[in-house]
Structure 1
């Protein structure tokens, strides 16, 4: 996700976390895994 790993220093970890949470809440296992990796 560009909000988490952008090489142009436009990182927005809070936005990335919110989008991963939305995906996880919707049943997306990858979103849940990414959220866990971020330390949520």
Structure 2
């Protein structure tokens, strides 16, 4: 089983990449890393 680690998901490009991944991959297979957790949105 493949797992994906995405970085920079609070930025413009990273948020689009995450949305695309969520259409293709189950959320349980995706992990994200952020510098500033306060920038995360639901």
TM category (shorter chain) comes to 0.3 to 0.5
TM-score (structure 1 length as normaliser): 0.45
TM-score (structure 2 length as normaliser): 0.44
Q: Which has the higher contact order (CA 8 A, sep 6+)?
A: 2
More strand per residue: 2
